[in-house]
Structure formats: structure tokens, C-alpha cells
Amino acid sequence: MNQALQSSAPSGEGGAALVPLYVAGVFREAPAAFRVQLIECLMRPMGALGLVAVANGVFAALRQRHGWDRLQVTLDDAARISADQVLELSSYLQQTAPDVFGQVAELVSRQPAVASGLSAMLLLHVLHSTLRRR
């Protein structure tokens, strides 16, 4: 990350509050195949009640359509999900399962085309700062 961006990117608790926004930005900027992976990563720690409670139940409907015993998100599913719904899901996860964002960081880092986007760079910076403080 360049020095100017790194020094202006929020870190610590203020930056952590922006993680859901950055995740939604990554989703918005990412290619369709990566969106599938991101949604699956975010849905993995969610139980049925949480899935129903978030984003008007869109993630619960997706899970139910493909079977509760198997998590599968298709390209068509990802195309129907909005960045605002990912923002809601990420905000919920920040309160209930914040460790999932370490997995999100790994997922983003493994995709150079995704990791080079502005939202991804900010997300990785904030997550790495947060993880170093723990």
C-alpha cells in the first residue's frame, strides 16, 4: 500500500468500525466468482436464526434453497445479493463472529486482482492493524 494511503487509512477501533463498509466495497468491486467465495465465507459461521435476522432473510432463503446441510452459493445467487445486504451481514458478523474477518483477509489476499482495489487495501490495512493489537 502506498505511504499516503497507509497514513490516511483509519486503524484501531475507528477503523474496525469501518470493516463492514470495506467488506461491502470489496464485494461491489469484485468479479462474480470472488463474490461467491466471499458470501460463502461470510455465511459459514451463521446459524439459521442469524441468517433469518439479517438482510430481510435473503441469506436464509439462499441457504434453504440449496439445503441447510450444505453451503453452496452460485453465480446467480451472488448476482442477486447487493452490497448493502453484504454490509448488513458484515455488521452482524462484526458483533457475533468477528474472527470471520481473518478468513476474509486471507481470501482477499489470495486474489491479487481483488486485493489491488481500494476497498480491499483499506480492509486489509484495518484488519492487519486490528489483529496486531490483539
Q: What confidence score (pLDDT) does residue 132 get? A: 64
Full pLDDT tens readout for the chain, 134 residues? 433 344 344 545 567 789 999 999 999 999 999 999 999 999 999 988 899 999 999 999 988 887 777 889 999 999 999 999 999 999 999 999 999 999 999 999 999 989 989 999 999 999 888 766 65
CA distance 29 to 22: 10
Q: What confidence score (pLDDT) does residue 3 get? A: 39
Against a cut of 0.75, is the pTM above it? Answer: yes
Query: How many residues appear in the chain?
Result: 134
For residues 68, 64, 49 and 26, what is the CA-based torsion angle, rounded to 10 degrees?
A: 100
Q: What confidence score (pLDDT) does residue 95 get? A: 94
Helices (H), 1-117: 3-8, 12-16, 19-29, 32-43, 48-53, 58-66, 75-80, 83-96, 100-109, 112-115
CA distance 46 to 52: 10
Q: What confidence score (pLDDT) does residue 134 get? A: 54
Q: What confidence score (pLDDT) does residue 63 get? A: 87
Look at the block and give the residue holding cell 463492514. 20
Number of domains forming the structure of the chain: 1
Domain span including residue 62? 3-133
